[in-house]
Structure 1
Amino acid sequence: MRCVIFGATGYIGGRLVPELLAAGHTVRVMARDPDKLADAAWRDRVTVVRGDVTRAEDVRGALAGQQVLYYLVHSLTRADFDRVDRDAAASVAAEAARAGVTRVVYLGGIAPAGQSLSRHLASRAEVGEIFLKGSVPAVVLRAAVILGSGSASFEMLRYLTERLPVMVTPRWVRNRIQPIAVRDVLYYLVRAADLTGEVNAAWDIGGPEVLTYVRMMRDYAAVAALPRRVIVPVPVLTPWLSAQWVNLVTPVPRAIAVPLMESLVNDVVCADHQVADYIPDPPGGLTPYRRAVALALNRIRDRDVPTRWSDANPPDSPSDPLPTDPDWSGGSLYTDVREQHTSADPATLWSVVEAIGGENGWYSFPLAWSLRGWLDRLAGGAGLRRGRRDPHRLRAGEALDWWRVEYLERGRLLRLRAEMRVPGRAWLELSVAPDGAHGSVYHQRALFEPHGLSGHLYWKAIAPFHAVIFGGMVRNITGAAESAVPAGPAPRLELDESEHRSGGETR
């Protein structure tokens, strides 16, 4: 089958591509920023087109000649996400019909009948209905909590359980949930491409167990060899209040935590298992909860997380060129430029630069970085808890604490764009160059484009700290390169299984 994926830079989309390829399909992906896929292991095996689902002409070009459309796009971080998703889905459904697409596959959320739905679940259900009512046969797969390394739901569960031995929780943590392993979600998505005829249906998909969030946290603690967690449900914590706590304790920002928390107010359990009438259960059966947790933890401990929830740019994130590009004109731009020669060779210096952030830190005044991160979290921003996907290698487009990797030329230049809450736009450039036969040169440049008076005041207020923060970075990065020590492997759970099923199994 000729398959096109909308949402390949997201958590599920980035994992679906190699599974479709392994199953023998040809794949095209549409991305707003194709550069984000430059380092994907499968990049040279697919066709990548630039486009946005909100622009009909982009959608039309991406769908030309394709048979199966995978629609994995959500605008969760926007205040008007339901309107944006509704309009985009309607436009895509119409263009799919004009292009002669034979099937649409959409991954939504379980919408329990007879219950008042959160905006998030209601929007997912609405998008599914738009595709089901279109003229192209659609398969809408509806899942609850997806368990996999790097998923927003799993990261929220992991951080809450690992960091809080005693938790005061909303009483609805005892509501019923039917989580599903990411490997089983991918299995169903791949098999949906093989369906024949005019199948037009929505199916709930879930794992073999129905649990409560309390049980999920306690079972997670058991798998991770943590002491038993004490959980005290109380009636006064609303989903909004709970989301503020999640925003502070976990890497999941408030914009995503709020809809996730609101969704947990509902029982999210499969109404039936009708999907098995068309797609048989995976070989060996659906993945039990504890095994899914162990598989995800092994991925994390092996530093082998192919995609994360934070990989996808927020729909309204800035994507304009750096203000110093030739086509930029007007306005103000503040800069802080520093440079230092070092006896370390360029390759060693670059290894330190590319490993910056996450558990490796930012090489200057940790207290100041930590305080700024907490302030950003309080304001609903990314903070420092998003960390990094891999301790040593970066990819263009991925999240790195409160930054986004905007440009990466391995061995020479790393450009980060700030996603913290600031009155303007900010970048940080780190570059490496050889210094003849005597080591290398480290060059660092911070740029800030202020928005309004508050932006100018912000820069002037923090300017006195630049010598400590940015100057310390220069000294400590070059110093680390001169005394670089390789890191050892992380421990692993006793479970010899992949988080993803093999291509043969998904076929």
Structure 2
Amino acid sequence: MTDVSAPSGDEAALRARPRADGSAPRALVIGATGYLGGRLVPRLLRAGYRVRVLARSPERAKSFAWGAEVEVVGGDASDAQAVASAVADVDVLYYLVHSMSAGPAFEEADRTAARTVAAAASRAGVSRIVYLGGLHPDDAPLSPHLRSRVEVGRILLDSGVPTLVLQAGVVIGSGSASFEMVRHLTEVLPYMPAPRWVRNRIQPIAVRDVLYYLLGAAHVPASANRTVDIGGPDVLRYGQMMNGYAVEAGLRQRAIAALPVLTPRLASHWVNLVTPIPRAIARPLVESLQNDCVVKDGDIDALIPPPAGGLTPYRRAVALALGRVRDDDVETSWRDAEVSAVPSDPLPSDPDWSGRTVFVDARTAFTAASPERLWDVVEGIGGENGWYSSPVLWAVRGWMDRLVGGVGLARGRRSRRRVAVGDALDFWRVEALEPGRLLRLRAEMKVPGLAWLELRVTPDDGGARYDQRAVFFPRGLAGRLYWLAVLPFHGFIFRGMANRITAAARAS
């Protein structure tokens, strides 16, 4: 269940204003399963709105954490009947859809959907439409996707319903396609041959600030029917954005060479080659960077005052997106099992190619031994008891760690049979412990990244199941090369470890 009772910070100042009859206003979100829509819905709920969503796949919408708290109407934005049902008795309509497909057909699809929604909203007497468009210069040719966004904004502005078109550039948050391109390019390439647009000026904005403006847009006067630019406090060149990311990610700053020969088409192929971002998405992203992309005026401040603490600087937005800090400056790691309310966090609905790169080696084995016997073996791992696999390879890894200034295997363990959170186990540290169930170790050996080893015991049909995961967050290209270098040894080490741990439990 989504917590809808406690808006925080600036969200509390943007609570829904009751209707004349005292009932809560209704918000319709078109695009609720997208990057921003999925983050906006729970904030609308916390602000006191009754929320309805229009979703092509109702099952997918209901699978979100907030799915049980909203009304779901099946259909897409070009389905006149579905849209008519969705806009009934709606006060504010959020239009957060835009095609990222290729070819001329997407412009007509965007146009048809916008006209369908505009007409239905006008007939239903919707009080306000809020649309998120793309930040762009007024005096330069636009890419097809930016041109289509501008056209959609005009259609909504001409609908007869008061409309606020918020135009944003690069959105900084885990899962945002723009941010993911910065992330992956910076992490993979220590040296980047790049198009000339790396020198263009860009005004990125944190996802939390975009959501703040979206919430605030519901409160602007009915007389406001216009386009307004939004951006963060920093104006940077794209190359500076990459190096700002590198600093926050603990990487060396990247050497970037601007080459005049890389056309948008070639650049999108290049991005697709060195990052997991699909070319169909990379190309519109690259095309949108062909010109300076900065806020032209401060008109937004007269409509929606800035957040009480000010807009989020770029470097802090990156740190939040990386999970290095939260609102209370607490470090986080992959072990956080649930998505928090922080909008910079990844959501389960984000694309597979978004988020930090994670390498995982997962093994499962079964034993007829009891879970208690298996746990005794797991809890006793390391030190004099060893690691149950390839002792020579473990010893070599320990020697290598000592050679580069690491702790090696010499620390052993404090107790032969029991461990506690914080204990050292050779070159690991006990990070989490659920007696009888889970032992999670954080690596303290010298590696180009962050590493964990998780050992889990589960009762299984009269015996026990053993699950083992090695998780590695690579740092830059060196981290990726390190994982590839040790990958051939995983079959010996981790497979043998799982098999021998379960065998030891059976023999004990």
TM-score for the superposition, normalised by structure 2: 0.62
Is 1:86 aligned with 2:86? no
User: Counterpart amino acid of 1:222?
Assistant: V
Q: 2:212 aligns with which of 178, 181, 187?
A: 187
Match of 1:73 in 2: 97
CA contact (8 A) 2:172 2:204 kept: yes
- Kindly tell me: are residues 308 and 209 of structure 1, through their superposed partners in 2, closer, same or farther at Cα, counting changes over 3 Å? farther
Q: In the alignment, what sits opposite 2:174?
A: 149
Q: Judging changes above 3 Å, is the alpha-carbon distance between structure 1 residues 439 and 141 closer, same or farther for their aligned structure 2 residues?
A: same
Residues 48 and 302 of structure 1: CA distance in aligned 2, closer, same or farther (over 3 Å) = farther
Match of residue 184 from structure 2: 159
Amino acid at match of 2:45: L
Q: Deviations over 1:81-128 (max 9, x none)?
A: 111101100111001111111110000101211100001110111100
Higher relative contact order (CA 8 A, sep 6+): 1
Offset of residue 435 of structure 1: 8.2
Question: Which stretches in structure 2 are left out of the alignment for 5+ residues?
Answer: 1-24, 326-331, 340-344, 354-363, 372-458, 466-490, 503-508
Q: Which amino acid aligns with 1:4?
A: L
Q: Does 1:21 align with 2:45?
A: yes
- 2:74 is the alignment partner of 1:50: yes
Cα displacement string for residues 213-260 of structure 1 (whole angstroms, at most 9, x for unaligned residues): 011111111111211211111110111111111112222100010011
Q: Does 1:36 align with 2:76?
A: no
Residues 169 and 273 of structure 1: CA distance in aligned 2, closer, same or farther (over 3 Å): same
SS class of match (1:276) = helix
Task: Tell me which residue corresponds to 1:307.
Answer: 347
Q: 2:288 aligns with which of 247, 253, 263?
A: 263
Q: Distance in 1 between matches of 2:80 and 2:183?
A: 39
Q: CA deviation at 1:39?
A: 3.5
Shift of residue 437 of structure 1?
4.6
Once the two structures are superposed, residues 397-438 of structure 1 have per-residue CA deviations (whole angstroms, 9 ceiling, x without a partner) of xxxxxxxxxxxxxxxxxxxxxxxxxxxxxxxxxxxxx98656
**Cα gap change, 1:3/1:302 in structure 2, threshold over 3 Å: closer, same or farther?**
farther
Whole-angstrom CA distance in 1 between matches of 2:368 and 2:214:
48
SS in structure 2 at match of 1:172: helix
**Counterparts of 1:344-493 in structure 2 under 5 Å?**
437=462
Q: Of the candidates 230, 235, 238, which is equivalent to residue 255 of structure 2?
A: 230
1:332 corresponds in structure 2 to none
Give the CA deviation at 1:310. 4.6
CA contact under 8 A between 1:132 and 1:200: conserved in structure 2? yes
How many corresponding residue pairs? 340
2: CA distance between counterparts of 1:257 and 1:309? Answer: 19
Structure 1 segment 123-142 matched on structure 2, within 5 A: 123-142=148-167
Structure 2 CA distance, aligned partners of 1:229 and 1:344?
Answer: 53
Kindly state the Cα deviation for residue 77 of structure 1 after the two structures are TM-superposed: 2.0
Contact 1:151–1:308 under 8 Å retained in 2: no
CA deviations 1:257-280 (Å, max 9, x no partner) are: 001101100111111110111100
Match of 2:32 in 1: 8
Partner of 1:387: none
Do the aligned residues in 2 keep the contact of 1:111 with 1:125 (CA within 8 Å)? no
2-side partners of 1:203 and 1:310: how far apart?
Answer: 27
- Structure of higher CA gyration radius: 2
Mapped pair 1:287 → 2:287: no
Contact 1:10–1:308 (CA under 8 A) maintained in structure 2? no
1:214 alignment counterpart: 239
Instruction: Report the secondary structure of 1:40's partner residue.
Output: coil
Q: Note if contact 1:155-1:251 (Cα within 8 Å) is conserved in structure 2.
A: no
Identity of aligned pairs, percent?
A: 55
Structure 1 distance, partners of 2:211, 2:65, is 18
Whether contact under 8 Å (1:168, 1:234) holds in the other structure is: yes
**1:350-387 Cα deviation digits (max 9, x unpaired):** xxxxxxxxxxxxxxxxxxxxxxxxxxxxxxxxxxxxxx
Q: How many Å apart are 1:306 and its aligned residue?
A: 4.0
Equivalent in 102, 106, 110 of residue 127 of structure 2: 102
Matching residue within 248, 257, 272 for 2:273: 248
What is aligned with 1:416? none
Cα distance in 2 for partners of 1:49, 1:312 equals 26
Q: Quote the residue 2:145 is aligned against.
A: 120
CA deviation digits over 1:306-332, x for unaligned, max 9? 43785499xxxxxxxxxxxxxxxxxxx
Q: What residue number does 2:222 align with?
A: 197
Task: Report the secondary structure of 1:116's partner residue.
Answer: coil
Deviation at 1:50, TM superposition (A): 1.3
Matched residue SS, 1:286: coil
Please tell me the residue identity of whatever aligns with 1:54: S
Superimposed CA distance per residue, residues 147-185 of structure 1 (whole angstroms, 9 cap, x where no aligned partner): 011111111100101110101011121011111000000
1:471-502 CA distance string (max 9 Å, x none): x9xxx8xx79x96xxxxxxxxxxxxxxxxxxx
* Shift in CA distance, 298/436, structure 1 to aligned 2, threshold 3 Å: closer
**TM-score between both structures, scaled by the size of structure 1:** 0.62
Cα distance in 2, alignment partners of residues 198 and 280 from structure 1: 17
Contact 1:146 1:179 in 2 (8 A): yes
Residue type of the partner of 1:72? L
How far apart are the structure 2 equivalents of 1:44 and 1:344? 41
Contact 2:271 2:279 in 1 (8 A): yes
Amino acid at match of 1:173: V
Please report the RMSD computed on the Cα atoms of aligned residues, expressed in angstroms: 3.1
CA contact (8 A) 1:56 1:91 kept: yes
Shift of residue 10 of structure 1? 0.3
Question: Equivalents in 1 of 2:142, 2:222: separation in Å?
Answer: 32
Residue 273 (structure 1) aligns with: 298
Secondary structure at the counterpart of residue 315 of structure 2: helix
Letter in 2 for 1:6: I
Residue type matched to 2:54 in 1? M
Secondary structure in 1 matching 2:323: helix
Shift of 1:51: 1.4
Offset, 1:48: 1.6
**Partner in structure 2 of residue 64 of structure 1:** 88
1:107 partner SS: strand
Q: What letter is aligned with 2:347? A: T
1:344 and 1:32 mapped to 2: Cα distance? 47
Q: Does the residue aligned with 1:264 lie in a helix, a strand or coil?
A: coil
